[in-house]
Amino acid sequence: MKAVVLEGKENVRVGEFKDPVLEKGSVKVEIAYCGLCGTDVHKFQGKGGSRPVTYPVPLGHEASGVVCEVGEDVTEYKVGDRVTIDPNWSCGHCYYCKEGITHMCENSRGVSKGLAEYVCAPQENIYKIPDEVTLKEAALTEPLSCCLHGMDLLDVKLGDTVAIIGMGSIGSIVLELCKKASAGDIIVIEANEEKREKAMAMGTTLFVNPLKENVMEKIEQAGIKNVNRVMECVGINDTIETALQIAGKKAIVVLFGLPDPKKDVPIKMRSILQREIEIRTSFLNPNTTERAIHILKNKDLDLSQIVSMEMPMENVPEELKSQEYMRNGKVIVKIKGES
């Protein structure tokens, strides 16, 4: 089959890769669309993914498609079903799975390498999508489900002041979800000036460019007294430090952006302690896939604000290098497309 294959650090090619093997209890999906994720860039740059990377491996994990074959013992799915794939598999029998925190599974592995013509995934990772949801929209299920987990942790109350750091695809989805959650003032902190207009159009109260403006000063000038909730969607030292600096007294800070495993972040512990800041971290998308599908079905998000580009597999290596379109939102890779 054709796939976008990662051969090593900064070494990616589009070409032949061995077909996945259909095992008992698994479903083979002909992939329609797959989103490109910051994690794919991390893997490309040799910074690892959510789990260790073994080469060669196809990239991608945000896939939708149509069932083309079912393995032995599969009862819930049939050929022709339109589906999306949760890329994270958990065993169901370890301590953490039994405690219901499946994303902490000791035997957890990634199942879906969606930048390929075919994926075989265990049936427990397969979700049917309703007719109202296109296959292209369905490729957004995984990032949206990750955002829902992050939003659960952020625990926005009606009228809360929320700061979102980084307005890539995750930050854009979080912004829309915060509006849905009736947050009060929303501050977007983003170094790309071109996103100012879009952020304001999406209902941001205050946009701050940290490369040009002093974030604390801007917040004070805007008359915002206490930032109750902070969502950090970048994962680099500067933005994590900003998140902890702007958090108000008794604030909740959710760290969502995946940091470089080799980097340590110095934190001003005394000031954090005195404000009684609660730092939470958001990892993967435990039990949020069905809710993500409901949101897509009800057209509760303006996806045109999130998707910046659609491209064929052939363009992915260049995009991983330049991140030209990823900087502005979600890139969706068309594999087979809508059939």
Would you say 35 or 244 has its CB closer to Zn ion? Answer: 35
Closer Cβ to Zn ion, 204 or 285, answer by number: 285
**Do residues 86 and 75 touch, judged by C-beta distance below 8 A?**
no
Min dist CB 110 to Zn ion, Å, is: 11
Minimal distance in Å, beta carbon 308 to Zn ion?
A: 15
The C-alpha atoms of residue 201 and residue 206 are separated, in whole angstroms, by 11
Least distance to Zn ion, CB of residue 142, Å: 5
Q: Which stretch binds Zn ion (CB under 5 A): 31-39, 120-128, 190-198, 291-299?
A: 31-39
**Residue matched to tokens 């294959």:** 5
Nearer to Zn ion by Cβ, of 60 and 228: the residue is 60
Query: Interface residues for Zn ion in 210-249 (CB under 5 A)?
Result: none
CB contact at 8 A, 234 and 254? no
Q: Is the peptide bond before 56 cis (omega within 30 degrees of 0)?
A: yes
Tokens standing for residue 57: 């491996």
Select the residue interacting with Zn ion from 3, 22, 37, 129 (CB under 5 A): 37
Residues 6+ apart with CB under 8 A from 74: 25, 26, 27, 123
- What is the DSSP secondary-structure string of 199-212? HHHTT-SEEE-TTT
Closer of 90 and 204 to Zn ion (Cβ)? 90
Of 97 and 252, which has the nearer Cβ to Zn ion? 97
CB of residue 288 to Zn ion, shortest distance in Å: 13
Kindly give the pairing relationship between strand 252-255 and strand 229-232.
Answer: parallel
Interacting positions 77-116 with Zn ion (CB under 5 A) = 90-91, 94, 97, 105
Tell me the closest approach of the beta carbon of residue 283 to Zn ion, in angstroms: 12
In the region spanning residues 315 to 334, those forming contacts with Zn ion, defined by CB under 5 A, are: none
* Integer Cα distance of 73 and 168 in angstroms: 41
Whichever of 169 and 204 has its CB closer to Zn ion, that residue is 169
Q: Which is nearer to Zn ion, 97 or 206 (CB)?
A: 97
Tell me which stretch binds Zn ion (CB under 5 A): 36-44, 219-227, 244-252, 329-337.
Answer: 36-44
Give dist(CA 45, CA 320) in Å, integer. 9
Q: Which is nearer to Zn ion, 106 or 238 (CB)?
A: 106
# binding residues, Zn ion (CB under 5 A): 6
Output the smallest distance, CB 182 to Zn ion, in A.
27
Parallel, antiparallel or unpaired: strands 307-312 and 330-334: parallel
Tell me the closest approach of the beta carbon of residue 139 to Zn ion, in angstroms: 10
30-63 CB burial, b ≥16 within 10 A, e <16: bbbbbbbbbbbbbbbeebebbeebeeebbbbbbb
The sign of the dihedral angle between the CA atoms of 53, 108, 26, 289 is negative
**Nearest distance from C-beta of residue 25 to Zn ion, angstroms:** 16
**By the rule CB under 5 A, 305 interacts with Zn ion:** no
Residues engaged in binding Zn ion (CB under 5 A): 37, 90-91, 94, 97, 105
